[in-house]
Chains A and B, each alone.
Chain A
Amino acid sequence: MIPAPRWRKVLRDVLRNPTRTLLVVLSIAVGVIAVAIVMGAYGIIAADLPNAFDATNPAHANIRMQPFADDLVDVVGRMDGVADAAGRRVVSVQARVPDPEGPPGATTWQDLQLLVIDDFDDQRINIVRPESGAWPPDKGEMLVERASMAALGAVEGEPLTIKLANDDERALKVVGQAHDMNEVSLAITGLASGYITPDTLEKLGLDRRYNEMLIRVAENADQRSHNEEIARAVADKVEKGGYTVFRTSVPRPGEHFLEQFLSPMLLILGALGVLSLLLSSFLLVNIITALLAQQTRQIGVMKTVGASAGQLTRMYLASVALFGALALAIALPLGTLLMNALLAFVARLMNFNVVTNRLPLPVVAVLIVIAMGVPVIAALGPILRGTRVTVREAISDFGAGSTVFGRSRIDQALESIRFLSRPQLISLRNTFRRKGRLILTLTTLILASAIFISVFSVRASLFRTMDDAFAYWNYEVRLNFARAYRAEHLAAVALEVPGVRAAEAWGLRNVYRVRPDDTESDNIRLIAPQPDTKLLNPTLLEGRWLLPTDEDAVVINTDLLDDEPDLRVGDRMVLNVDGRDVAWTIVGLVRSVMAGPYAYTNYPYFARMVRQVGQADILNVALEDQSPAAQTAMALELERVFEAQGMRVVGTETTAAQRDQVGDQYGILIAFLALMALLLAIVGGLGLSGTMSINVLERRREIGIMRSIGASTPAIMRIIIFEGVLIGAMGWILGALLALPLSRILSDAVGEGFIHSTLTWTYSLGGAAFWLLVMAGVAALSSFVPARQAASLTVREVLAYE
């Protein structure tokens, strides 16, 4: 059926001004897209990740212990509360990989854990799935976790050289890839994973027995405390059987370890998404207000022929809903596209397969409500006001006086300005003519500017914090030795090497905390620097640093505090070191940088405790040249020197490499934030161009008059562009100021969410300058287009009565 004339009018008004329609539709679309990306990605991750994760039958508890065999697995499997148990062996080795920073052909060692799987086709817990190539691997062959392929430089069908703990080097043929969601992603830990059969293990000359017990809890497995209880019962039982338990870990049940990292990120992104939606509705208010002002006469005529205010309100609301529907038509496909890009990114980071690639239906429903509802709500005020005008006000040449220039104090101040040229004065006064519109446009620009600059500031703050944090590792290369050597000798050898500034032998152990209720924590690195160490510059947050006279004192870092939130400076804490429980006093708290939980203690006490007095297996070396290239080169050189003296080096680490790794993790966050800042920048740009095009549209008559009294095309364009640039400049200045507090809030939130301490706040002047350039471009462009359009109108066209 042909719609009634009034609905035809609605439709044609929307179509008649394609520029305006496009602006409105785009600005709604950008807001909806932002929400779609975040909500869609969140919805899909929330649905797919637990599904994918659950499908691997993840262990509810993981017990590392002395070697054991199937008989113990059976015993544990039959225990009350245990649904299933499995044993497996995990072997830490190193793999020879091409060195990306060294000269061509150079190699370096990459940490690799080999997981031994009894029967690849009958796995019950922490299930590893085939990805490509052969399955299962034969004797002498291995599969590589798909996310580890690149780091290992592995190629299917090619051999990989591995180095065992006893320094034997062996070759294993990589025959395929596996997918294992239960191993912490390489992107986060830098640890690669490979999979072999027990036969291969035997061939490597290693003990066939298990060293890790995986447990599935029977009931209430979603309660971590219950799982901890069961794990403790199992540990007690096996210890009674004469096995030493090294470590028990009970992960958050049913939750992938990266989920907690994802939540704060999505929260921040969500907030930005909602903000861009809000700002895009400002533009809508401006455009609808202008549209109604433009159609006042038509409203009057329609009322004269019998239209009620209600009918008119419905008509204009319908056109807004139409804008919303058009925006939705853009936002759904584009939002899906961008969401999938985001998902691909997250999936790579978290090493899981995203099954869903469409916006979940509930999200689509929400988006429909948002796309139609937010514009309708935003436009309701202007529409109600616009359709309530009386016919007399609408038809007469009197009335509509509130927007006439010259009434307010700002106007009077502007009238008193004398130093500008006449056309510049027109620009200046025009800028302030529609104050409501100016306020909304400025708000959009200010917020977009502030957030853009804040994102850059968060980035600067993150890197500054990282610099600070890495500055406390005042050394560049760490050498790990196969066994303990005399500490003084290690340092002396290193100091002989040209380019070495300082060298200290330290102690290091992986330990765990035994809590007052006998449960155990995850791994903690216990680091024992020399008492008067020059190689550490800790950032103390609480308490004090170690004194040379301290004995059983430890300083903990914020990551440890986050894992074990009951710890306080001054408390006692029990750490299990080499199988023995030792009590310590916490004397201080230092900031960490996503380095994991650390505790520091004095070397002499540590050495006595681990019965290696005067000896150490770690050497930290400070270099004169601290460039990444020099660090890599010196690591090789030092390794060579020590090997030449018969001291075996099992691994080297450089702070440059570590820094890259941490930087990559921040990079992900920054990339997301930048994406959102970009969306906001688009909203800001649309807001400004929207305002400029309505300004020009409204002033067509005036422009015609100026033309008829002799204004040239460039003169008219200058007047309009000057106005756009003026608004842009105000937006930038105020936004740059607002970024001062805002960037601080954002960097605190990011710090709290990601490294559990505040960042060292830095205002990014570079970001502000960059945004100034963007803004100048946007302002010039968004006023240039309407200006040129205006200047191309003939006098007859603009003065002709509609």
Chain B
Amino acid sequence: MFWSRSNGAGSPISTNGVAHAAPHAPRLIDLRHVVKNYATAAGAYTALRGIDLGVDAGEFVAVVGKSGSGKSTLSNMITGIDRPTSGEVLVGGVAVQQLTEGQIAVWRGRTVGVVFQFFQLLPTLTVVENIMLPMDFCNTFNEHRHARRERALFLLSQVDMQMHADKLPTALSGGQQQRIAIARALANDPPIVVADEPTGNLDSHTADAVFHLFEQLVAAGKTILMVTHDDDLARRATRTITIADGEIISDRPNYAPHAVVDDDVDDAILLGDEELRLA
């Protein structure tokens, strides 16, 4: 398959072959009445006020809203980075809020790829090592000595960064670092990618290129939830959720994002990737 060379070592929930799930099927991401309170010096602050949200496999969800509205808090619920005060967070049928911190780390490593605004590559590891690190931690792709490196180089080639494989991250530009961060998020072939303002720190041209990578991921069957401030980019997702004061105030599908897929194929041909044409 495109993007993944999954051989069972990856996720508990396989997305292989799933393009668009039927509406009545269980949802891949299912948030029920999620409330999040923060204790602050001025008393409890409610960042999320009973969020109900379902996302199906293969969706590309953009989350928008003003600063402080609760976007990051919401994405942290899904990645297990933070726990809800009340409510349920079900991802692939797993009740994330019930896992221990240690279980979450393992679960997340294989199920959710996380992309940050500030790329967060480890400064002392080379680009390819940064991508191998999640496989190392989760003990995946160890069928032979070079499996991890091969996969890392493959992922790098997918984001067009293979020529920087053995450089340190500090030698690269922001856009380059973010592509590598995306490759890293895909290291363990997770079905879901959550990105919190992945383009927030990039100029519009570079942001566009990075966004395009996400579109390719969706085309390959990944489910993506992306927090963004950029309305133009949000419109290119399959669905846009708007949050204000910890509540979803609008949730609508976007139409005609399909021209993008054609672009995809062109790009992929440029990259010379055979698997891509099969998609």
Contact partner of A305 (CB less than 8 A), chosen from B82, B118, B187, is B187
Known: A4-B136, A302-B133, A392-B76. A9 touches B102 (CB 8 A): no
Contact partner of B120 (CB less than 8 A), chosen from A8, A301, A307, A308, is A301
Known: A304-B114, A392-B76, A395-B116. A6 touches B136 (CB 8 A): yes
Q: Is the CB of B102 within 8 A of A306?
A: no
B116 to chain A, nearest CB (A): 7
Q: Is the CB of B124 within 8 A of A308?
A: no
Contact with A along B31-75 (1 / 0, CB 8 A): 000000000000000000000000000000000000000000000
B237 to chain A, nearest CB (A): 22
Q: Is the CB of A306 within 8 A of B110?
A: yes
Complex formed: what's the CA distance from A392 to B77 in Å? 10
What B residues does A311 contact at CB under 8 A?
Answer: 137
B34 to chain A, nearest CB (A): 15
Q: Which residue of A lies closest to B188 (CB)?
A: A306
Complex formed: what's the CA distance from A395 to B115 in Å? 12
Complex formed: what's the CA distance from A304 to B82 in Å? 11
B244, CB-defined interface residue at 8 Å: no
- CB neighbors of A among B183-217 (8 A): 184-185, 187-188
Q: Is the CB of B125 within 8 A of A8?
A: yes
Q: Is the CB of A307 within 8 A of B105?
A: yes
B110 to chain A, nearest CB (A): 7
What A residues does B129 contact at CB under 8 A?
Answer: 5, 8-9
Contact with A along B92-131 (1 / 0, CB 8 A): 0000000001100110111000101010101111000110
Contact partner of A307 (CB less than 8 A), chosen from B123, B124, B137, B187, is B137
B170, CB-defined interface residue at 8 Å: yes
- CB neighbors of B among A284-307 (8 A): 297-298, 300-307
What B residues does A1 contact at CB under 8 A?
Answer: 145
- CB neighbors of B among A385-417 (8 A): 388, 390-392, 395
Q: Is the CB of B109 within 8 A of A306?
A: yes
B279, CB-defined interface residue at 8 Å: no
Q: Is the CB of B109 within 8 A of A297?
A: no
Q: Is the CB of A9 within 8 A of B137?
A: no
Q: Which residue of B lies closest to A13 (CB)?
A: B124
Q: Which residue of A lies closest to B140 (CB)?
A: A306
Known: A9-B125, A392-B81. A305 touches B76 (CB 8 A): no
Complex formed: what's the CA distance from A9 to B170 in Å? 15
Known: A301-B120, A392-B76, A801-B118. A308 touches B81 (CB 8 A): no
Known: A5-B125, A301-B122. A306 touches B101 (CB 8 A): no
What A residues does B130 contact at CB under 8 A?
Answer: 5
A16, CB-defined interface residue at 8 Å: yes
Known: A6-B136, A6-B137, A297-B120. A305 touches B114 (CB 8 A): yes
Known: A8-B125, A9-B124. A308 touches B102 (CB 8 A): yes
Q: Is the CB of A305 within 8 A of B123?
A: no
What B residues does A302 contact at CB under 8 A?
Answer: 122, 133, 137
Q: Is the CB of B137 within 8 A of A308?
A: yes
Complex formed: what's the CA distance from A13 to B76 in Å? 29
Q: Is the CB of B124 within 8 A of A305?
A: no
Q: Which residue of A lies closest to B201 (CB)?
A: A801
A309, CB-defined interface residue at 8 Å: yes
B180, CB-defined interface residue at 8 Å: no
Q: Is the CB of B125 within 8 A of A12?
A: yes
What B residues does A16 contact at CB under 8 A?
Answer: 124
- Which interface class (under 10, 10 to 19, 20 to 34, 35 or more) fits A? 20 to 34
Q: Which residue of A lies closest to B142 (CB)?
A: A4
Contact partner of B170 (CB less than 8 A), chosen from A13, A298, A308, A802, is A802
A232 to chain B, nearest CB (A): 76
Complex formed: what's the CA distance from A9 to B121 in Å? 12
A565, CB-defined interface residue at 8 Å: no
Complex formed: what's the CA distance from A631 to B122 in Å? 77
Q: Is the CB of A5 within 8 A of B136?
A: yes
Complex formed: what's the CA distance from A304 to B134 in Å? 9
Q: Is the CB of A802 within 8 A of B137?
A: no
Q: Which residue of A lies closest to B152 (CB)?
A: A5
What A residues does B122 contact at CB under 8 A?
Answer: 9, 298, 301-302
A241, CB-defined interface residue at 8 Å: no
What A residues does B4 contact at CB under 8 A?
Answer: none
Complex formed: what's the CA distance from A303 to B133 in Å? 11
Known: A1-B145, A802-B170. A305 touches B134 (CB 8 A): yes
Complex formed: what's the CA distance from A42 to B109 in Å? 54
What B residues does A6 contact at CB under 8 A?
Answer: 133, 136-137
What A residues does B226 contact at CB under 8 A?
Answer: none
Q: Which residue of B lies closest to A1 (CB)?
A: B145
Complex formed: what's the CA distance from A388 to B102 in Å? 10
What B residues does A242 contact at CB under 8 A?
Answer: none
- CB neighbors of A among B130-153 (8 A): 130, 132-134, 136-138, 145
Q: Is the CB of B133 within 8 A of A308?
A: no
- What are 13 A-B residue pairs whose CB atoms fall within 8 Å in the complex? A4-B132, A8-B129, A9-B122, A9-B129, A9-B133, A305-B114, A305-B187, A306-B108, A306-B134, A308-B105, A390-B81, A391-B81, A392-B76
Q: Given known contacts A13-B124, A304-B120, what 18 new A-B pairs fall within 8 Å (CB)? A: A5-B125, A5-B130, A8-B125, A9-B122, A9-B129, A9-B133, A12-B124, A16-B124, A298-B123, A301-B120, A302-B133, A302-B137, A304-B81, A304-B114, A305-B133, A305-B134, A305-B187, A391-B81
Q: Report B's interface with A, CB cutoff 8 A.
A: 76, 79, 81-82, 101-102, 105-106, 108-110, 114, 116, 118, 120, 122-125, 129-130, 132-134, 136-138, 145, 170, 184-185, 187-188
Across the A-B interface, the 4 shortest Cβ-Cβ residue pairs? A306-B109, A305-B134, A12-B124, A5-B129
